[in-house]
Amino acid sequence: MSDFNRLVGSVLGIENAIKEGAENGLKQAGARVMGAAKQKLGTYQPSIGEYPAWKVLSPQSIKAKFMSNSGSGKIKKSGKEYLKRYGAFRASGSADDSPLVDTGALRQAITMDTAEVSDGKVYIGVAKGKTNKKRKGKTSDVATYGAAHEYGSARRNIPPRPYLRPAVVENKEQIAEDIKNGIAEMMASFGQGRF
């Protein structure tokens, strides 16, 4: 094999190592952001960058969280504890309000799609088509519910409570580190003759 062919092979190997490393790092970064978004649910969030702090839930939303889904008008055990602690179904401003957590369906529906990772893209969001449990005779699409809270919905009187976009902003530096580390790991493998 000529020196030129070895050089071309080395350059291609380096290119492949960098590409695979960047893809691995991007997947790691995506998992980090997805986890951060899921952790935001259930606790009021402060403002992050351009994204507003979460407004406290309305008394009606608090009450709905703690009422039986059967339509019987009965208060759940957790609702009785809430009433004992706060005296009424009014927002406490604490994690006891469990903002954006009723059934856990939103947290479960946040997923990551890596189908386009070779193009430098990872999508984190709420999978369309998943449905929330029936509540008061209605079935809701979790993606619609998630979007209404991420961006707000004037029609439904829901203020924005972003959880996806702030997860990216908060992890910006770590995302770059994940990609850099992924590349470094693959380059180390290249140095050991893997490619």
The list of the chain residues with pLDDT below 50 reads 134-139, 195
Strands (E), 63-176: 110-113, 123-126
pTM of the model: 0.83
Q: Which of 42, 28, 175 is nearest to 108 (CA)?
A: 42
Amino acid at 13: G
Mean pLDDT of the chain: 88
**The CA-based dihedral angle spanning residues 24, 179, 35, 150, taken in that order and rounded to the nearest 10 degrees:** -120
Q: How many residues does the chain have?
A: 195
What's the CA gap between 162 and 184, in Å, rounded? 33
Structure confidence by residue, pLDDT tens digits, 104-127:
899 999 999 999 999 999 999 997
Q: Which pLDDT belongs to residue 193? A: 60
Q: Which pLDDT belongs to residue 175? A: 96
Q: Which pLDDT belongs to residue 137? A: 44
Whether 89 and 83 have beta carbons less than 8 Å apart is answered as yes
CB under 8 Å to 190, separation ≥6 — which residues?
Answer: 13, 14, 17
